Structure 1
Amino acid sequence: METIKLKSPIDGSIYAERPVASDQAVNAAVERAKAAQVGWAQISVAERSNYMLKMLEALVAMSDEIVPELAWQMGRPTRYGGEFGGVRERVAYMVEIAEKALAPVMASNPKDGFRRYVKKDPLGVVMVIAPWNYPYLTAVNTIVPALIAGSSVILKHAAQTLLVGERFAKAFEAAGLPKHVFQNLVLNHGQTERLLASGKIDHVNFTGSVAGGRAIEKAAAGTFMTLGLELGGKDPAYVLPDAKLDHAVANLVDGAFYNSGQCCCGIERVYVHEKVYDEFVEGYIAETKNYVVGNPLDAGTTLGPMAQARFADFIREQKAEALRKGATAHINMKVDKDVAGSPYLAPEVLTDVDHQMSVMREESFGPIVGIMKVRNDEEAIALMNDSPYGLTASIWTGDIDHAAAIGDRVETGTVFMNRCDYLDPALVWTGVKDTGKGAALSALGYDNLTRPKSFHLREVV
C-alpha cells in the first residue's frame, strides 16, 4: 500500500504516515461531494455561514495541540502560536460580507413588467490544493467562501502538513456540517492530475510553485473548470528618504525572516534610497543578528528550521553564487546543524548585489535578503518590476500620495505602504505575471467562486 510520509524538519524522524486513497475511494468521494452539494446549496447563506463559525470555534479549541504539531510538521517556532489570529479574521470577515456579496444583482435600468437580475450560483465541487507554509491560513482563503457560496469542497493538503487536513475534517465534524460537504483526501500527484482531468471538479484553487501551477493547468486542460493559482513571488520593498527608518527596519526584517522566510508575500529584496542607505543597512544587520536559530519547540527559538533540507540547500546555493559574483554577506551567524543537507539555516543579509544574481531574481522562499542602493524612484520602480513575479510590493515613506503614485507603476497584486507580509481579507488577494491568476477573499473572492446566472422574467397580462 502506498503511503505519504511526513518527515519532520526538527530531527528528520517520520512524524506521520497516511495511506494514499485508492482510485475507487477518490471516485466515490467525488460522487459524494457532488450529491451532497445539491442539498447544501438549498440552505440559506446565513445557515452555511453559521457552520463556518462553529468550525472556527472547534479549530481554535484544538490550538494547544495544533501549535506543537505545526512545529513538528514544518518547523515554525511554538512561541508564535498557531495561525488562528489570521484565520479568525478571514473567516469572520467572509461571513460578515457573505449575504451582501452573494445577493442577486438587479439590472441597473429597471423596466416595467420585467424582473431582471443576475444570481450568483455555486460552482459545484471545489478542490483546494493547499501548501505547507501557512497551512491553515491559505486553506481557509478558499474553503470557507466556497462552502458559504454553496459549493462542496475536497481538500488535498501538502504532504509536509498532512495532519492539517485531518484537523479541518475534525473541526467540520464538530460543527455538525452535513456529511460529505467537506472531505479531506490523501492523494499522490498522479491521482491529483487524473482527478483534475476527469471533468468532475468544477474549480481548483492551488497555492504553490510556478511549476506546480503549470502542471495544474495542463491537467485541467479541456475541462473548462475555473482556476485560482497563487504561485511564486519575489516581493520587493522600496525605502524612501522620508521613511521612518526604525519602523522600516523592524518591519522589513520581520517581513523577510518570519517563518524562516517561507512566506508567499515575504520580503526577498530591498531597494533603499542612497540618502538613507548606510543607516538602513546598519540597522537591518543589527536587527537580524537578534534572531535565535534552533529547535522550534524551545521557547527561546525565534527562527526554526526550514520545512525541508533541500529548501535550505537552495538558499545556500543562492548565497554562494551571490558571493562568487561580488556580494557581501553581513551576518555569517554560527548555528549548530547549519550545514549542507540540514534544514537548519541562519538568516543572511547581502549587499553589493545586482540583478545578475539569482538571489535578486529567483524566488528564494527562505531566510535570505538582498539590499540594493538606488538613486531615485525611477531606478527603484524599474528594479521592482524587473521580475517574473508580482504578488506584493511595499513602499516606505511618509507621503501617502507619493506611495500611491509609485504603486500605480509597480507590477504587483497588492501595494503596501509602511507595512508588508500581511493579507487583508477586505482586499482581494491576487497576483500578476508568474505569480498566477484568480482572486481570493473580499467580495471579489466570492465572485471567483460563483457562476453568474441571468434571470430575465417578463410578466404577460
Structure 2
Amino acid sequence: MTLNEVVCISPIDGRELVRRPIMTDAALDRALAAAREAQRHWRRVALSERKAAVLRALDALEAMNSDIVSELAQQMGRPVRFGGEFGGVKERAVYMTRIADESLAPLVPDDDRPGIRRMVKFEPVGIVLVIAPWNYPFLTAINAIVPALIAGNAVLLKHASQTILVGERFQAAMDKAGIPAGVFQNVVLNHQQTARLLAAGEVDHCNFTGSVEGGRAIERAAAGSFTSIGLELGGKDPAYVRADADIEHAVDSIVDAAYFNSGQCCCGIERVYVDAHHYVHFVEGVAALVSKYVLGNPLDQATTLGPMAHKRFADHVRRQTADAIAAGAKPLIDTGVFTADDGAAAYLAPQLLTNVSHEMGLMREESFGPVLGIMKVSGDDEAIRLMNDSPYGLTSAIWSSDVEAAEWIGQNLNTGTVFMNRADYLDPGLAWTGVKDTGRGISLSRLGYSAVTRAKSYHLRQLNHRPS
C-alpha cells in the first residue's frame, strides 16, 4: 500500500482483495463544494420526498444483499450463513423514517401570547461527515446516514479501508434512488485529509465510530473549529447472571453475544459475573456450547465462526489471553480441535477463561475477539462494583426474572444502555450512547435527530395586532 491508496487484505487468505486510490486534495475540494451546493437545495425538498428517497435507497440496498453478504465475508470475515446486516439496517432506517415528522416538527411553547407567533424549528446542520468502522459496516453507518439525509443534510461517507466496498454499495444505492448528485458522496480519504476537514471547519458535524485513540484524534483535529462531534468508541461490556436467572437462556444468549462476529461487536459481551449459586452450571453450559463452534472459511455455509478481520486483531487477543493464563487464568476450551487456527493468521479459536481477576487486562481492556472471562460473585453489590470497574461504558446486561431489581441495578451502572435478558442489540427507539471512554453523542431514537440539526428560534410579533 502506498500513501495514495487504500488496500483491503482479505482475512480469508491474507491476499489483496481490493485497492482504491485516495482522493486528491483538488477532488476533495470539489466534493465539498458540490455538497454545499447540493445541500442548499436538498434542505428545501419536502420532508416527505426526502423520506421517500431514503426508503428507495433502502430498497436498492436490499436488492444487492446477496452479493453484499459474500463481499462482507471476504472483507471482514463474517460467515455467509448469517445473511449480512440488512435486517437490522432496514429496522433502523424504517423506524427513523417513521418518526421523522414528529422528531423534526417545530417546538411550540405552551403559553400562548396573543399577536406573537413563537416556535423552535430544527434545521439541518449542513454537511455531515460519517466515519464508519469495519465490524458492522452497514449498521453503524446507517445510524448516522439516515437521520442526516432525512433532516436535510448532505453526507460524506468515509468508510474503513477493511470494508471499502461498503461505501461504494451505499453510493450505488443512493444513485439508484435518485438522490441528487452531491447530497451523498462516498469519499476515500487519508487521515491527514480527514483532519484537515475537521480543523478547517469544512464539515458541520462528524459522526465517528472506532477506537478510543481514533476518537481522541478526531477531537484533537476538530479543536477550536466548533464542529460538533459524535463518538462511539471502545467497550468492555459486562453481563451479570443473578441468582433468579433462567440459566439455560443466559447460557445461550450470552454465548451468542460474546462470540458472534468473532467477538468483533461494539456491544458484545466481554466479561461475565455469575452468582455463586449458578456459577458451576453456567460455566459448564457455556464451555459446552462454545466447543461446538465451527471455525473456518466464512464463505462455507457450515462455518459458524470466521476469521477476525485482520491478523493483527487476532494477535492482540492471543497476547491478551496468554497474559491472563500466565497470571493464573484457567482456559476451558481445547483450541487444538480448531484446526483452522494455526496461531499465525486471522483465524482464532474461541476461548473461555475462569479464575480471572480485574488485575488482568482481559477483564478491563477491550478484547474485541472470541474470548470471554467469567467471575463468581456473591450478589448484586459485588456485581455492580465489578461491572463499573472499567474505563468504558457502552452497554451492560442483566439476566434476572425481576424487572424491578434489574432496573435498580441499571440505575447504579455507568453505561449508556442497560439490557435485561438480552444483549448486543440496538433498539432504534432508544438512544444509542455511551459514557466514559466509550465516547459521547447520541444516535437513533428521536434524540438521534438532535445531532444532525440545530435549533432556530422564531419570535414573530404582529404590530397591527390589537389586544381585546
User: Shorter-chain TM-score: which interval?
Assistant: over 0.9
| Deviation digits for residues 265-307 of structure 1 (CA, Å, limit 9, x no counterpart) | 0000000000111111110111111100000001100000000
CA contact (8 A) 2:431 2:447 kept: yes
Aligned mates of 2:168, 2:5 — CA distance in 1: 16
- Is it true that 1:338 corresponds to 2:341 in the alignment? yes
Of 192, 211, 214, the residue aligned with 2:213 is 211
Aligned mates of 2:205, 2:95 — CA distance in 1: 22
| TM-score between both structures, scaled by the size of structure 2 | 0.98
Could you say which residue in structure 1 is the equivalent of 2:62?
A: 60
CA contact (8 A) 2:295 2:340 kept: no
Of 369, 382, 392, the residue aligned with 2:372 is 369
- Is it true that 1:423 corresponds to 2:436 in the alignment? no
Q: Which amino acid aligns with 2:49?
A: E
Could you say which residue in structure 1 is the equivalent of 2:324?
A: 322
Report deviation, 1:45: 1.2
Could you say which residue in structure 1 is the equivalent of 2:36?
A: 34
Aligned mates of 1:293, 1:388 — CA distance in 2: 31
CA contact (8 A) 1:310 1:341 kept: no
Q: Which moved more, 1:148-157 or 1:330-339?
A: 330-339
| Deviation digits for residues 394-425 of structure 1 (CA, Å, limit 9, x no counterpart) | 00000000000000000000000000000000
Aligned mates of 1:193, 1:340 — CA distance in 2: 36
Aligned mates of 1:105, 1:192 — CA distance in 2: 35
Aligned mates of 2:446, 2:155 — CA distance in 1: 19
- Is it true that 1:393 corresponds to 2:396 in the alignment? yes
CA contact (8 A) 1:10 1:296 kept: yes
Aligned mates of 1:87, 1:390 — CA distance in 2: 24
Could you say which residue in structure 2 is the equivalent of 1:225?
A: 227
| Deviation digits for residues 34-83 of structure 1 (CA, Å, limit 9, x no counterpart) | 11001000011111010110000000100111110000000000000110
Q: Which amino acid aligns with 2:120?
A: V
Aligned mates of 2:62, 2:335 — CA distance in 1: 36
Aligned mates of 2:340, 2:89 — CA distance in 1: 33
CA contact (8 A) 1:131 1:208 kept: yes
SS at match of 1:143: helix
Aligned mates of 1:178, 1:189 — CA distance in 2: 28
Could you say which residue in structure 2 is the equivalent of 1:3?
A: 5
What is the total number of aligned residue pairs between the two structures? 461
1:32-431 equivalent positions in 2, closer than 5 A: 32-334=34-336, 335-431=338-434
Report deviation, 1:148: 0.3
CA contact (8 A) 2:204 2:228 kept: yes
CA contact (8 A) 1:393 1:416 kept: yes
Report deviation, 1:339: 3.4
Aligned mates of 1:247, 1:329 — CA distance in 2: 23
Aligned mates of 2:328, 2:405 — CA distance in 1: 34
Of 445, 453, 456, the residue aligned with 1:453 is 456
Aligned mates of 2:366, 2:47 — CA distance in 1: 40
Aligned mates of 2:196, 2:239 — CA distance in 1: 40
| Deviation digits for residues 167-219 of structure 1 (CA, Å, limit 9, x no counterpart) | 00000000000111000011111111112112110000000000000000000
Report deviation, 1:312: 0.4
SS at match of 1:136: helix
Q: Which amino acid aligns with 2:186?
A: N
Report deviation, 1:340: 3.7
Q: Which amino acid aligns with 1:426?
A: G
SS at match of 2:122: strand
- Is it true that 1:13 corresponds to 2:19 in the alignment? no
Report deviation, 1:337: 4.1
CA contact (8 A) 1:7 1:16 kept: yes
CA contact (8 A) 2:428 2:444 kept: yes
Aligned mates of 1:354, 1:30 — CA distance in 2: 50
| TM-score between both structures, scaled by the size of structure 1 | 0.99
- In the alignment, structure 2 segments of 5+ residues that lack a partner are none
Aligned mates of 1:195, 1:106 — CA distance in 2: 36
SS at match of 1:186: coil
Q: Percent identity?
A: 59
| Deviation digits for residues 409-453 of structure 1 (CA, Å, limit 9, x no counterpart) | 000000000000000000000000000000001000001211000
SS at match of 2:320: helix
| Deviation digits for residues 244-264 of structure 1 (CA, Å, limit 9, x no counterpart) | 110010000000000000000
| Deviation digits for residues 132-179 of structure 1 (CA, Å, limit 9, x no counterpart) | 000000000000100000100000000000000000000000000011
Aligned mates of 1:5, 1:337 — CA distance in 2: 25
Aligned mates of 1:321, 1:244 — CA distance in 2: 33
Aligned mates of 2:246, 2:265 — CA distance in 1: 24
Aligned mates of 2:208, 2:343 — CA distance in 1: 30
Q: Which amino acid aligns with 2:435?
A: V
Could you say which residue in structure 1 is the equivalent of 2:441?
A: 438
Aligned mates of 1:113, 1:225 — CA distance in 2: 37
